Each structure stands twice: as C-alpha cells, then as structure tokens.
Chains A and B, each alone.
Chain A
C-alpha cells in the first residue's frame, strides 16, 4: 500500500513560513494569489497567459508569510513541465510549512482527486473553496463545515470580489502548524479514491451544479460552425486593429517626447561628443524602443481580457484542427498569438503545453511570428521600397507587403514547428490533448491590471538593460577611435567642417572595421558595411537597427533616417557609387528580418525555459542560416524583375 511520510515540516526559519498554492488551472488560484499579495509579488518573468512561478509576501496576524503560486496542475502524476514543478516542490517537503489547495467548488469531485494526491505529501494542508457563489447560482450546494470534517482539514470558502474570504485566509496563513491534520492521507488508486471522494461528497451534502445556461447559450453562438468561425476571425481582426491602430497615437506621443528631450540635450550640452552620446545613444536608443510600450501593454490587456472571459480557450478549441496540421495543438495557437507582440510571452505561454515535444517545437517557431520589434524595421524598409501612393483601389502596396510579411512569418512558423515536431527526439507516447472550457466570466480588472503591469515592467527592464547597453556600445564603436585635429589634417579633412569630421570618424571607426570585416558574408545579399553594422547591432534587439542606421546616416532625425538612407551609395568595392538601397537589397533585408533570430532576450528566455543553452543555440543557428538563404533568394528573385 501507499507509503506515507508524516509529520509537518518545520518552517525554514522561525517567523517566516512558506506556503505553496496548489490547484488546477482555472480554479481561481491566480486571482486568489493576487488578492493575497497585491502588487508585492516577485517575478522576473513576462507573464504570458500561463502562470509563471511567482511568490509574494502576505501580511498575516503573525507577521509575513511567503506564498508561492505554483503552476496550475490537474494531477501530481505529471505530464507537463508545469506539473513536474508542482510535484517536485511538494516532494521537497522541508522547504514548505504548508500547502493551500485551491479547489473549484463547481467541480469538487475532480478537485478531491487532487486533494488526495497532495495530502500524500504529508504537509499541513488547508483547502480554499472557490466559486462557491457560482455553485449556488447554478443550483448546486456544499456544506463547507461538513466537508472540513470529512477531509480532516480546514476548508475556507472564498467568493470572488469579497474581502471576507481573503481576510479569513490571512488569519489561517499565520500558522500552518496549527491547521487540522487528517489522521492519514486518502487513497489515490483510481477505484479507492473514487469511493473515498464519493463518501466525502455525500457527507458534505454536495450536489453538482446544473450546466451553466449562460455559457451554453453563448457557446451555441460563439462555437457555432459558421457564426463561431466568423466571430473568431472578427475577434482576431479587432485584436490587431486595436494593437496597431489604438497604439499609434500613444506611440506618436512617446516619439515626440523623446525627440523633444533629445533636442534639449543637443542644445544644452556644450561638449560635442557628450551631447551626441546623450541625445543619440541614451535618449535616442531608449526612446526608439520605448515606442513599443503602448503596443505591448495593449496586447497584454487584450490577451488577459480574452483569457479572463474564457474566450481564449474557445479560440484554442477552434484553432486546434489547424494547428494539428503542424503537429501542434490548440494551445500552441495562443502561444503563437502572443508571439505577435513579442516572442518572450509566447515562449512562456508554451508552458501550458503538456507535451515537451510540442513545447520545443512551438518555442522554435515562436521567433518567426512577426513580433512588434520588427514593425519599425518593416515600416522603414517598406517605405523605402514602394511609395505610399502605389496601389490598386483600397489596396495599398505598402499595406499589402506588410500583410505578406506577417503571413510569411506565420507560415514559416508553422513550417518550423512541423519540422521540429518531426525531428525532435524519438516518438514517445502520444500525449493527450485536453482543454477545459471555463464558464464565461467577467474578467477581474485586478488580474488584467497585474498582468499588464508585470509585462510592462519586464519590458522596461529589457529596455534599460540589454537595449541601452547595446546602443551605448554601438555609439562607442561608431565614434571611436577619437580623431585629433592633427589626425584630421593629416587625412585632408577640414576640422571646422562638422559634417566632414563626422563622416571621417564614422568611416574609420571601430564599427566600420567590423562592418567591413563581415562584408564577404553579406555581400551576396547586397548589404554594404553600414547595413552590416545595422544588422550586427540588431542581433541584440531588432528595433536597434532603425536607430543604428539613423546614427550611421547622420540623419538629422535619427528615428526617421529614410531620406538620408535613400540616397546612400556604396563607398567602396565593386559597386562603388551605386545606391545601396536598391529593390533587391531592401527585399533581402526585409526577408532577412523575417527569419533572423535577432533578440538576445528571446534566446535568454529559451535558455531559462529549457534549462540549457542547446535550444537557444539551435534556434540561433537554424534561423541565421534560414535568414541568409531566404534573403539571398529574395535578392535574386527581385533582381530578376528590376
């Protein structure tokens, strides 16, 4: 029979207990965690739709207690990375002073299966019963006091939006050592646990809720074979309209704000190199990237709204068949959808995928989805490629090309996923696809707010670390070595001619040397050394490409260097004197950006999610090769037509 370790683990240090929140997905665990910890949760992650491993201090009557929000798990017999974490944490019994089990009252029978498994860990355990209000609304009932007696543990009912339950929990959290303790753990063998659960439910006077009529009515429309499909596409259309249209004026203001700051720096800092450093590198670099903040915030508002209402699960259900053509499942759609803003939340969202193979395949595909960092690059290059006037009726050539780039990204992502799904590992047991359809609910504004705040915070951290560092390094490379007046005179440059000095410094800078050094690699794509510097700098983050070209072209407006760039010519080599930005070269650049893995933050997240640099290196390698080959193809094909 089951071997059972007993005796509660002592808190790691007296006074500071550590309690884990365990529960199945959709049981209201995250809402509860937010209610307990507010904004004091610690996390280094972008939260996608999935729950990362958070922890936060909760003030109780006996001082602070650390609450750890474990990922949602249906069972401790793990088949996904999330559930492995939960089982592993509960195995490390010594590090925990108690477990708070969050159980959905509308589905208590299944919840008791998890209760039985968690009790096997032998830790002090208490049950938080959520959605009791919904249970009653749908005609079910439960006597939580009788349930507590039957389980032998404390049962605390909480009602969403009511402070009372959360306050009661605070009191309970104060001392896990004093919680009621069952005499021994319930059985977990299927037959035995079914009997145990049946007996407990009967003692608790439990009656199951009627099916939610509101959800039934909504589903009959939203999942209708025809209307459901129409509504799905309309929702996706609105989704992107909001992200790109609503964000535009906000982005405009941020741009103007930074341009104004840059101007102040330029006019008020008397030392030439310092004013250039502050205006171009610091303000220009950070501003060029901060422009995406409204988009990222909006994306997270929309995703957490869709998640909170329950529609995201329906979208995954509708898309499952299509995703299965790439060997993936419906939930991978959500991950790829998030990747349209940024691959990082997309990669984090793969945690909801139970299959490790699916997870890796989706991760390898996510960087191909057109993330918002590519947008400014596309806008710049497409603007140089075709004029805004070109078009047929309502279809503008620029818009069509942009749409084509998004489509190319998505198609490439699906292809990559399909490829990796076939290549990764030997075929193991086909893991099941299952997805619970939550009842439609009104999203909790607090949950939405916290999700948006966390993601914006993480994005700002990225801006102030990786991107700021890159722009500073780049500025340095572009402006070093410093030329003295005698150097300039020797080279025949008039030191009083500012433009000539800048041009000379740039042409003989460290960056130029690097740009020239990699010329053999990029020469077939039509890139000159200045484009090479831009491409290399964008390895840190794609959006840096725009400001780099701006710095290089010495354009008056570093954020809109199109004018200066359009007239740029090759200054050396066999094409000397010819324009750099010909149609084939622009096409090659665009296609290069569709494929290239130019985001250090994404590689970092891949490493963190897979636990090894292997997959980051594979992603970097395959995407770099694909980018170069596809760009060459684009250069050649477009070259045939012009």
Chain B
C-alpha cells in the first residue's frame, strides 16, 4: 500500500457521531469564535480540512469576508486561512 492510499483510508468525525448541538462554520458571525466538533460528511475534502488544522477540539474564529461576499477568512491553530462558504459549511462548530 502506498503512503497516499494509506492516508486516504483515514476517517474523520462526522455529524452522525455527534450528540451535541452544532452549526456550520459559515454561519458563524464575523468576529466570533467557537470550537470545532466535526464535519458533515467524510471524504477527501474533510481529510484535507483536518490536515489544514480544522481539528475537532480546536477553537476557530471567523475574521472577515472578501469584498464580494466570498471567500471567508478564519483563524485556527495559530494561522489565518481562507475558505469558500461551501467548504466552511462542511465544518461543524459548537452552537
């Protein structure tokens, strides 16, 4: 098995496994922070978001949005990172 195949078999926490109330990250108002709890589905995009630092248990803050409404900028794990609404929507944070 190649390295890539091995890492593609990783599994992230999805909505089904969560007991608590959640909201999608793109719904977080600007300037507010919350805690990441999981993802809506589990696929290569989810794994990448995880690898980028969107790790369940970590705090995340929404900083700003681009002049035309998309993408959104977040602070997580000491970095500032830009996601489009569609991707931010897949990350679940504590409501």
Do A's and B's CB atoms come within 8 Å in the complex?
yes
B3 touches A121 (CB 8 A): yes
Min distance, Cβ B14 to any Cβ of chain A, angstroms: 11
Q: Given the interface contacts A215-B80, A432-B87, A436-B80, does A79 sit within 8 Å of B44 by beta carbon?
A: yes
Cα–Cα distance between A188 and B1 once the two chains are bound (Å): 15
A435 touches B51 (CB 8 A): no
Q: Give the contacts of A98-139 with B (CB-CB under 8 A).
A: 106-110, 113-114, 117, 120-121
Contact A87 B79, CB 8 Å, known A317-B66, A433-B84: no
Given known A87-B4, A91-B3, A107-B77, contact A74–B48 (CB-CB < 8 A): yes
* Alpha-carbon distance A90/B13, docked complex (angstroms): 28
Given A211-B75, A223-B64: A87 in contact with B50 (beta carbons within 8 A): no
Q: Are B7 and A76 in contact (CB under 8 A)?
A: yes
Question: Is A180's CB within 8 Å of the partner chain B?
Answer: no
Is B15 on the interface with A (CB-CB < 8 A)?
A: no
Q: Are B78 and A208 in contact (CB under 8 A)?
A: yes
A444-491: which have CB < 8 Å to B?
none
State whether the Cβ of A183 lies closer than 8 Å to any Cβ in chain B.
Answer: no
Contact of A436 with B67 in the complex, beta carbons under 8 Å: no
Enumerate chain A residues within 8 angstroms of B95, measured Cβ to Cβ: none
A429 and B44 within 8 A (CB): yes
Residue B27 lies at the interface, judged by CB distance under 8 Å to chain A: no
CA distance A421 to B56 in the complex (A): 34
Q: Does A236 contact B (CB under 8 A)?
A: no
Q: Is A494 among interface residues, defined by CB-CB distance under 8 A?
A: no
Say if the beta carbon of B83 comes within 8 Å of chain A. yes
B4 A432 Cβ-Cβ under 8 A: no
Asked if A437 meets B3 with Cβ closer than 8 Å, knowing A110-B53, A188-B10, the reply is no
- Which residues of chain B come closer than 8 Å to A188, judged between CB atoms? 6-7, 10
Which residues of chain A come closer than 8 Å to B70, judged between CB atoms?
A: 320-321, 324
- What separation, in Å, do the CA atoms of A3 and B7 have in the docked complex? 12
A256 within 8 Å of B (CB atoms): no
Interchain CB contact (< 8 A) of A75 among B48, B68, B87: B48
- Asked whether any CB of chain B lies closer than 8 Å to the CB of A394, the reply is no
Q: Does B94 contact A (CB under 8 A)?
A: no
Measured between C-beta atoms, what is the minimum distance from A521 to chain B in Å? 44
Chain B residues 59-74 with CB under 8 Å of chain A are: 63-64, 66-71, 73
Question: A76-B7, A194-B56, A317-B66 are known contacts. Are A430 and B45 too (CB-CB below 8 A)?
Answer: yes
A611 contacts the other chain (Cβ, under 8 Å)? no
Interface assignment of A431: CB less than 8 Å from any CB of chain B:
yes
Residues B2 and A434 in contact, CB atoms below 8 Å apart: no
- In the complex, the chain B residue whose C-beta lies closest to that of A118 is B3
A213 at the interface (CB under 8 A from B): no
Give complex CA distance A106, B13 in Å. Answer: 26
Interface string of A66-82 (1 = CB under 8 A from B): 00000000111111000
Contacting B10 at CB < 8 Å: which of A106, A108, A109, A190?
A190
Chain A residues, CB < 8 A from B4: 76-78, 84, 87-88, 91
A332 and B69 alpha carbons, distance in the complex (Å)? 19
Docked pose: A523 CA to B58 CA in angstroms: 68
Known interface pairs A87-B3, A91-B2. Does A434 touch B83 (Cβ–Cβ under 8 Å)? yes
Assuming the contacts A77-B51, A228-B67, asked whether A434 and B78 have C-beta atoms less than 8 A apart, the reply is: no
Contacts of B73 in A (CB 8 A): 223, 317, 437
Q: Which residues in A have their C-beta under 8 angstroms from that of B78?
A: 106-109, 140, 208-209
Say yes or no: B11 contacts A434, CB within 8 Å. Answer: no
Set of chain B residues within 8 Å of A88, measured between Cβ atoms: 2, 4
Docked-complex contact B3 and A117, CB < 8 angstroms: yes
Given A75-B7, A121-B3, A437-B81, residue A109 in contact with residue B53 (CB < 8 A): yes
Residues of A near B28 (CB, < 8 A) are none
For residue B17, give the distance in angstroms from its CB to the closest CB of chain A: 11
Which residue of the partner chain A has the closest CB to B47? A77
Total contacting residues, chain A, CB less than 8 A: 55
> What is the chain A residue whose CB lies nearest that of B7?
A77
Tell whether A225 is near chain B: CB-to-CB under 8 Å. Answer: yes
- Write the A196-229 contact mask toward B (1 if CB under 8 angstroms, else 0): 0000000000001101000100010001011011
> Are B48 and A432 closer than 8 Å at their CB atoms?
yes
Q: Is A322 an interface residue (CB 8 A)?
A: yes
Does B83 lie within 8 Å of A432, measured CB to CB? yes
Assess the A76–B79 pair: CB atoms within 8 A: no
A318 contacts chain B at the CB level, 8 A cutoff:
yes
- Chain A residues with CB under 8 A of B18: none
Picked from B12, B43, B68, B86, the residue with its CB within 8 Å of the CB of A321 is: B68
CB of B82 within 8 A of CB of A317, answer yes
Given contacts A211-B75, A432-B87, A437-B73, contact A189 B3 (CB under 8 A): no
| A245 vs B55: C-alpha distance when bound (angstroms) | 49
Distance between Cα atoms of A170 and B3 in the complex (Å)? 29
Residues of chain B contacted by A226 (CB below 8 angstroms): 67
Residues of chain B within 8 A of A79, CB atoms compared: 44, 48
Provide the residues of chain A in CB contact with B52, threshold 8 Å: 74, 110, 434, 436
CB of B62 to closest CB in A, whole Å: 13
The 8 Å CB contact of A435, one of B11, B64, B81, is B81
A225 to B78, CA, bound (A): 24
Residue of B at shortest CB range from A106? B78
For A436, give the chain B residue with the smallest CB separation: B81
Let me know if A2 is at the binding interface, CB within 8 A.
Answer: yes
Can you name the residue of chain B whose Cβ is closest to the Cβ of A197? B55
Q: Is the CB of A74 within 8 A of B51?
A: yes
Known: A225-B67, A434-B48, A434-B83. Contact between A107 and B7, CB under 8 A?
A: no
A-B contact pairs, 29 of them (CB 8 A): A74-B52, A77-B7, A77-B47, A78-B4, A79-B48, A88-B4, A91-B2, A109-B58, A109-B78, A110-B77, A189-B11, A190-B11, A191-B13, A194-B57, A209-B78, A211-B75, A211-B80, A223-B64, A225-B67, A318-B66, A318-B67, A320-B84, A321-B66, A330-B71, A429-B43, A431-B45, A432-B83, A433-B82, A433-B84
Contacts from B to A (Cβ < 8 Å)? 1-4, 6-8, 10-13, 43-45, 47-53, 55-58, 63-64, 66-71, 73, 75, 77-84, 86-87
Top 7 A-B pairs, shortest CB-CB distance: A321-B68, A77-B7, A75-B51, A437-B80, A110-B53, A225-B67, A87-B4
Given A91-B4, A140-B78, 10 other A-B contacts at CB below 8 A?
A: A75-B48, A77-B10, A78-B4, A87-B4, A107-B77, A211-B75, A219-B63, A430-B45, A436-B82, A437-B82
Interface residues of A (CB under 8 A from B): 2-3, 74-79, 84, 87-88, 90-91, 106-110, 113-114, 117, 120-121, 140, 188-191, 194, 208-209, 211, 215, 219, 223, 225-226, 228-229, 317-318, 320-322, 324, 330, 429-437
